[in-house]
Amino acid sequence: MNANAVVEVAVPRPLRTTFDYIVPTTMAVPPVGARVRVPFGAVTVVGVVAGHSRVSDRAEKAVEDVLDETPLLPTDLTDLARWLARYYHHPIGDVFATLLPAKARRGVPATLLKEVVWHWTGQEEAGKLARAPRQREAFERLRNLGSIFESELAALALTRPHLAALVDKGLARSAVLAPRYGVPETWTHHLTAEQAAAVSTITATLGTPTTHLLDGVTGSGKTEVYLRVIAEVLRAGGQALVLVPEIALTPQTTARFKACFGAAATLHSGNTDTQRFDVWLKCARGIHKVLIGTRSAVLAPFENLALIVVDEEHDGSFKQGDGLRYSARDLAVKRGQMLEIPVVLGSATPSLESLENARRGRYARSVLPSRAGGASMPAMRIVDVRGLRLDRGFSEALHGAIDRHLDAGGQVLVFINRRGFAPVLLCSTCAWYAACEHCDAKLTLHRRPDRLRCHHCGHSRAPPRTCPACGASAFVHVGTGTQRAEEALAERYPDVPRYRIDRDTTRSVRRLEADLAAIREGRPAILVGTQMLAKGHHLPNVTLVAVLDSDAGFLAADFRAPERTAQLIVQVAGRAGRAERPGEVWIQTFNPDNANLMALTNTGYAGFAANERRVRADARMPPFSAVAMIRAESRVESKAWGLLGEILGTLPAGAVEVLGPAPAPVARRADHHRCQALVLASRRADLHFALDQLEAAEPKAAGVRWSIDLDPIDTF
Ligand code: ADP
Ligand code: ZN
Ligand code: ZN
């Protein structure tokens, strides 16, 4: 044996083990968390050092190159990676790959982008630039302005080489610009007593692993609470992470943090790979103090993280839907415990899990029961539409209410959780309907351009002119989507400006921002939209919120459907009457006796949650059990079922309960047949034990993909 060191490397492949590599004696031993280039099979890959081992009989191949002298991933993240692999029963190689930004995965060096600023040194050019007219021009500009920022170069029609030349000649001095974080000396608002109590409760736990549930109605000033606590964090030299469901949809939130602290970094799907890696590195090195990000930001590295906030903690977008199916909310809590820092979960409609954790005393709870600034909560009213003739989803009574609110100078928000024109295109002669060729799903009709679109796989085609089954040419549009609701409103209120906000219209963030700005000017207007409207917008002049159809959500098969629907209704309702004007919420239903709906309108979200808690307890569903969903998918139906059967066979008898196997609610999607089973256990440890056995059996079959979704949030 020689004295070569051996490192354990996580390679970016869906493999459940790390691999040992010899470090040649000519190389410094890379630290844990550093990237290395290693041979793997026939190729060379970029892996991460996950550990050191002194001797190994597995190590045959050698590290080819060490990419980082200092760890790219700090130890808390390499620890977290191991925890993630165990908890989500996910291949360790893939976990490490998920932690790294795309550029880091490709082996790009960890160097920071620098925004440079050039200052005039005070010297005159004294003929030095006589033969360089462009440099002279740059110099004139610089002398006039005193300094020029890199970001201004294009606007000034200058380039870096011109200014670099000035530096060489002693006429300019360059400096790297760092974001400047600060804390306000005075605050605009005087905190309410409840806000002040929440701030001091949370602040008192800085430096301890405490999770707080900040349960505050929409508009109660939760964001204000976050800002005050973060100010304390910054004063003490710490960093803060704020997780939000969607950044592009809520530019105001980011603007508010930037205005408060002078700077704030953002991490979201709109970033380029270059920006992403840069923000990531600057958080790791403590240059950024405040990071606002969507789901994946929970995996960002920090030098001195002191607080994590999860705003709208109930939101489903915090759960990753494929690959490493983590919940950013749960991971935030885990990171808080590992780093011994507080985590604040804020929501007007907390998840049943978080409510239960608060109830059992695991989370500290702060309540903001009323709106900040004196606005009142909107009144809710149920409209029984049984037996009524509806005009594309609108009852006459609802139209009357819209008239009244528009006449009174208010704005109206119509919520319908379905984009497109109509969810079903039906032949009026033979009842044929348009279905997706690749999925077990109906196609949604979209207008302008006329297309039938599958909301599951993205397939689209032109609508038929004649029925493919009987040749007749008369079709009926069944149901109402946002486009159709907008059409109905356009006919009835031709002079009132309308704004449609759904995934089809918000592809352009600029357009959304322009629309929101126009809406905030406050003149009478009608907004039609999907759940995108529920997300945190402050729309002070909306006085009427209409929920066109509350039934579909409450009746859906998924066990979380009632919770999700109640949250949506309360969140959309929360857009109404946020300013001086009181708001009203109208909810149309064919099912006015629905227990969920009655609980919600009579006793609010808290009453609904108390009811739903009993339902979950009786059904032994989360938070009263731990659940994993196991799914198999294949182009060949029998193969998927075959492997799922085998997988379920590896589970130890007695420890867990299995519901299924059964076809997935969308049993075929993008030409893949899908079947699934829920595995339940009253104790989480039993579930993990069972899944460990499953993992150890390494089930596989050609042409079948299978996955474990721990703590699934929906079963579609
Ligand atoms: P949330 O995050 O709970 O929806 P925000 O923090 O956005 O609530 O506050 C809602 C509105 O009330 C904002 O316009 C905010 O500026 C204002 N606000 C917050 N706290 C106060 C306060 N203590 N006094 C007056 N207005 C406040
Ligand atoms: Zn037909
Ligand atoms: Zn499809």
- pLDDT, one tens digit per residue, over 677-712 is 999 999 999 999 999 999 888 889 999 999 999 999
- pLDDT, one tens digit per residue, over 494-550 is 999 999 988 888 776 677 778 888 888 889 999 998 888 777 677 888 899 999 988
Cβ(293) – ligand 1 distance below 6 Å: no
Number of Cβ within 10 Å of residue 632's Cβ equals: 28
Inform me whether the pLDDT recorded for 133 exceeds 90.
no
For residue 1, the model assigns a pLDDT of: 43
- For the entire predicted model, the pTM comes to 0.89
Distance 200 CA to ligand 3 centre (A): 51
Q: Which residue's C-alpha comes closest to atom 4 of ligand 1?
A: 219
Cβ(219) – ligand 1 distance below 6 Å: yes
Q: Determine the average pLDDT of the residues in 75-102.
A: 95
Which of 41-55, 72-86, 372-386 is most confident? 72-86
Cβ(221) – ligand 1 distance below 6 Å: yes
Q: Determine the average pLDDT of the residues in 405-434.
A: 92
Distance 235 CA to ligand 3 centre (A): 52
Cβ(195) – ligand 1 distance below 6 Å: yes
Inform me whether the pLDDT recorded for 101 exceeds 70.
yes
How does residue 3 score in pLDDT terms, banded at 50, 70 and 90? Answer: low
For residue 160, the model assigns a pLDDT of: 86
- pLDDT, one tens digit per residue, over 256-284 is 998 999 889 989 887 889 889 999 999 99
- pLDDT, one tens digit per residue, over 190-219 is 999 999 999 999 999 999 999 999 999 988
* Nearest ligand, CA 454: 3
Strands in 378-443 per DSSP E: 379-384, 411-415, 424-427
For residue 536, the model assigns a pLDDT of: 65
CA-nearest of 590, 516, 589, 608 to 547 is 589
Q: Determine the average pLDDT of the residues in 456-465.
A: 92
Q: Which residue's C-alpha comes closest to atom 20 of ligand 1?
A: 221
Cβ(373) – ligand 1 distance below 6 Å: yes
- Rounded CA-CA distance 69/49 in Å is 12
Cβ(189) – ligand 1 distance below 6 Å: yes
For residue 220, which atom of ligand 1 is closest to its CA? 3
Helix (H, G, I), strand (E, B) or coil at 403: helix
Task: Using most ligand atoms within 8 A of CB, pick from 189, 229, 570 the residue to mutate for ligand 1.
Answer: 189
For residue 511, the model assigns a pLDDT of: 78
For residue 249, the model assigns a pLDDT of: 66
Residue 398 neighbours by CB under 8 Å, 6+ apart: 383, 546, 586, 588
Q: Determine the average pLDDT of the residues in 180-186.
A: 91
Distance 665 CA to ligand 3 centre (A): 13
In one-letter notation, the amino acid at residue 380 is M
* Nearest ligand, CA 198: 1
Strands in 77-122 per DSSP E: 115-120
Judging by DSSP bridges, how do beta strands 115-120 and 172-177 pair with one another?
A: antiparallel
CA-nearest of 53, 169, 66, 62 to 120 is 169
Inform me whether the pLDDT recorded for 454 exceeds 80.
yes
Average pLDDT, the chain: 90
Task: Using most ligand atoms within 8 A of CB, pick from 223, 229, 252 the residue to mutate for ligand 1.
Answer: 223
For residue 474, the model assigns a pLDDT of: 92
Torsion angle, alpha carbons of 213, 218, 222, 227, to 10: 140
Inter-residue contact 250 to 401 (CB < 8 Å): no
**Long-range CB contacts (< 8 A, 24+ apart) of 108-114?**
108/277, 109/67, 110/68, 110/72, 110/277, 110/281, 111/281, 112/278, 112/281, 112/282, 112/285, 112/287, 113/274, 113/278, 114/176, 114/177
Q: Determine the average pLDDT of the residues in 154-180.
A: 85
Cβ(571) – ligand 1 distance below 6 Å: no
In one-letter notation, the amino acid at residue 46 is V
Inter-residue contact 615 to 651 (CB < 8 Å): no
Could you give the percent of the chain with pLDDT greater than 70? 96
In one-letter notation, the amino acid at residue 15 is L
- H/E element holding 666? strand 657-669
- pLDDT, one tens digit per residue, over 567-601 is 999 988 888 766 667 788 999 999 999 888 999 98
Cβ(220) – ligand 1 distance below 6 Å: yes
More confident residue, 169 or 239: 239
